[in-house]
């Protein structure tokens, strides 16, 4: 070997001897920490893709005492028969939406018939709109089995009382002079009577909340009265004080 070769070999040997053994030896626990790192990365990815928890819906719109009674009765008696339901409080022009299990899902202002009253005029379902006078344009009170069906113009609506042409649908904006959207957004229910008897709700609420809930099997719509006694419209409401949590009658203790 030449002198230059021997010199290079000596340099390499010196460098090898100067490196600590710990630097080239396998580190204890290296294999153990790798699974932990993978698990942490997996948990981080799962946290990013996890669906956010839905916020609890808290009622914000005003409710009349009558609405509170009806809501409590439906929940106690299971009067909705396993279907989703809505309670329309005419005195406050509000709608309260519930699942088939009685879970409160949301609320929204509503537009109602311009006429104050709780019954539909006889034969009103067969009349043309221009034939219906202001006094006849009432939203009837009562318990209704509501289902989707076709209306004028092949439009699908939620029929509340098909015989009397009372439906629940998204707000109509055809006649700008009626300012229906503005009426829905106003802070009081004083200007919420404008329809021929149908119930109007905001388009977003109708599309996102109400329609998906009712479109398969329909549901129950409870409409509170303007002038009739509440117990006359909902006779079974008298049983509320005697209903237990499971909907069964509870014997009174004297």
Quick one: three-class SS letters along the chain? CCHHHHHHHHHHHHHHHHCCHHHHCCCCCHHHHHHHHHHHHHHHHHHHHCCCCCCCCCCCCCCCHHHHHHHHHHHHHCCCCCCCEEEEEHHHCEEEEECCCCCEEEEEECEEECECCCCCCCCHHHCCHHHCCHHHCECCCEEEEEEEEECCCCCEEEEEEHHHCEEEEECCCCCHHHCHHHHHHCCCHHHCEEECCCEEECHHHHHHHHHHHHCCCCEEEEECCCCCCHHHHCHHHHHHHHECCCCCECCCCC
pLDDT band at 132 (very low <50, low <70, confident <90, very high): confident
CATH 2.40.440.10 intervals, the chain: 65-242
Average the pLDDT over 172-193 and give the result.
Answer: 93
Judged by average pLDDT, the poorest of 75-89, 104-118, 147-161, 225-239 is 147-161
Sign of CA dihedral 165, 168, 169, 173: positive
Query: Residue 8: pLDDT above 80?
Result: no
Q: What is the pLDDT of residue 30?
A: 44
Per-residue pLDDT band for 17 (boundaries 50, 70, 90) equals: very low
Distance CA 92, CA 189 (A): 6
pLDDT at 120: 81
Count Cα atoms within 13 angstroms, Cβ side, for 150: 3
Tens digits of per-residue pLDDT, 54-93?
A: 445 555 777 999 999 999 999 999 999 999 999 999 999 9
- Return the structure tokens found at 166: 């009372």
Q: What are phi and psi of 31, to 5 degrees?
A: -70, -30
What is the per-residue pLDDT for 59?
56
pLDDT value of position 46: 55
Tell me: pLDDT of 231 over 90.
yes
pLDDT confidence of residue 154: 74
Q: What is the pLDDT of residue 128?
A: 75
Q: Calculate the average pLDDT of the chain.
A: 81
pLDDT range class, residue 254, cuts 50, 70, 90: very low
- pLDDT at residue 42 in the model: 62
Distance CA(121)–CA(112), nearest Å, equals: 16
Domain 65-242 has CATH 3.40.50.720: no
């Amino acid at each position: 070997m030449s002198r230059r070769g021997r010199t290079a070999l000596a340099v390499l040997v010196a460098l090898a001897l100067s490196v600590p053994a710990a630097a080239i030896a396998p580190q204890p626990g290296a294999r153990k920490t790798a699974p932990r790192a993978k698990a942490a990365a997996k948990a981080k990815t799962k946290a990013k893709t996890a669906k956010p928890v839905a916020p609890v819906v808290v009622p914000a719109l005003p409710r009349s005492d009558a609405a509170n009674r009806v809501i409590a009765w439906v929940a106690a008696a299971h009067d909705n028969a396993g279907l989703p339901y809505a309670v329309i409080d005419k005195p406050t022009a509000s709608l309260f939406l519930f699942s088939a299990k009685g879970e409160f899902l949301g609320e929204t202002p509503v537009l109602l018939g311009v006429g104050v009253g709780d019954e539909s005029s006889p034969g009103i379902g067969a009349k043309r709109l221009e034939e219906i006078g202001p006094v006849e344009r009432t939203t009837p009170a009562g318990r209704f089995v509501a289902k989707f069906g076709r209306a004028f113009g092949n439009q699908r609506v939620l029929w509340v009382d098909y015989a009397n042409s009372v439906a629940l649908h998204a707000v109509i904006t055809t006649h700008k002079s009626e300012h229906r959207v503005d009426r829905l957004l106003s802070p009081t229910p004083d200007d919420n009577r404008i329809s021929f008897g149908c119930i109007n709700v905001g388009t977003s609420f109708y599309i996102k909340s109400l329609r998906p809930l009712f479109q398969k099997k329909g549901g129950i719509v409870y409409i509170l009265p303007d002038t009739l006694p509440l117990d006359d419209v909902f006779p079974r409401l008298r049983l509320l004080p005697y209903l237990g949590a499971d909907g069964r009658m509870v014997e009174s203790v004297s």
